[in-house]
Amino acid sequence: MEQPRFAETLASHGIVLKREQLKTLQVNIGKRCNQACHHCHVESGPNRTENMTQATVQRLIELLSKAPSIDTVDITGGAPELNPHFRPFVSAIRAMGKQVIDRCNLTVLYEPGQTDTAEFLAEQEVQIVASLPCYMEDNVDAQRGKGVFDKSVAALRKLNALGYGQPDSGLELHLVYNPVGEHLPPPQASLAADYHNHLQTMFGIEFNQLFTITNMPIKRYAHWLARLGKLESYMQLLIDNFNPQAAQAVMCRDLISIGWDGQIYDCDFNQMLDIPLNGKPRDIWQIDDFSAIDSGVAVADHCYGCTAGSGSSCGGALL
């Protein structure tokens, strides 16, 4: 049986995706990373050379200065901290009074030249969203590499010592769970309780929230599924669990994504598939301000990943 196209499923439920007022600018500042995780939809790794230039960073700062509705800049990668312009970019955004999110893989804090990165993030009151796909060592190391769990625990303890995840500190530390296998995430609230209990009991680690994120059937994860002969069944799982309520709460309604080269996309996933804004390629030098971006949203079948079950976004479950 042929699987229905995502656009057809939306239409059958009378749903039209339109972007409303922008609140979040997500920026992929580069694809270089000290890890090469199996589920990575960016296909980041130590050998990737794509990095946002100083000129591109400066252009984004100019555009953000004229975008009062954007209150959050979500910086991702790769490991964003490895871009040489990361700190000036963060400092400039914070000087505007906007919130900065750093999507940190934790182990990067022990890379050469990064020994004071945690202190910098704390000084700038940057919100950290940290990858920890499980609270069990074997599962984490299987997905992310041998020794990653121990380094992640050490990094979390360091962040806690700086005030991250502590009550009334103002320093937010959130963790991200991605399924290790080809299934949907469990309920976010119950899994968060398990994380809190295990990490506090075993390691004395505190954090604010847990975000459960569905693995997207694109790039490295899609290749992994295909090798196992499970790509079609995983897609069917997402289709079977399509949730119209989640579809109306997807993050592309108030977010746009900027690639390392300044190209503009509806979301980080469309960026990795090179699906342009509503079919019209545009970059940050072709606009005078972000309000010039039209409200149409480009969709494709990977969008089932954001709309299955409780829904999925860079901020966790939608419902």
Domain spans of the chain, in order of start: 6-307
- Residue 83 · residue 29 · CB < 8 Å: yes
pLDDT above 80: residue 295: yes
Q: Does domain 6-307 have CATH number 3.20.20.70?
A: yes
CA distance 280 to 295: 12
pLDDT of residue 264: 97
- Give the mean pLDDT of 101-107: 97
In this predicted model, what pLDDT tens digit does every residue of 38-55 receive, in sequence order? 667 788 899 999 999 999
pLDDT confidence of residue 278: 78
| Predicted local distance difference test score (pLDDT) of residue 85 | 98
Q: Is the pLDDT of residue 317 over 70?
A: yes
CA atoms of 59 and 78, how far apart (whole Å): 21
Whether 148 has a pLDDT exceeding 80, the answer reads yes
- Integer Cα distance of 91 and 95 in angstroms: 6
pLDDT at 27 over 80: yes
The residues near 115 (Cβ < 8 Å, ≥ 6 apart) are 109
pLDDT in tens, 169-184: 999 999 999 887 899 9
Q: Exposed, middle or buried: residue 68 (CB in 10 Å: 0-12, 13-18, 19+)? A: exposed
pLDDT at residue number 43: 84
Q: Encode pLDDT of 277-293 as tens digits.
A: 977 889 999 999 999 89
- pLDDT value at residue 84: 97
Distances (CA, A) of 310 to 46, 167, 185, 250, 302: 33, 28, 9, 11, 16
Model pLDDT for residues 229-267, shown as the tens digit of each residue? 999 999 999 999 999 999 999 999 999 999 999 999 999
pTM recorded for the entire structure: 0.96
- Looking at residue 278, its amino acid is N
Decide which of 204 and 142 is more confident: 204
Q: Which pLDDT score, from 0 to 100, does residue 37 have? A: 75
**Model pLDDT, residue 1:** 64
Q: How many residues in total does the chain contain?
A: 319
Q: What is the mean pLDDT of residues 153-180?
A: 95
Predicted pLDDT at 40: 77
Reading the block at residue 25, the tokens are 């600018």
pLDDT mean across residues, the chain: 94
- Residue 192 in this model has a pLDDT that exceeds 90: yes
Residue range 211-228, pLDDT digits in tens: 999 999 999 889 989 999
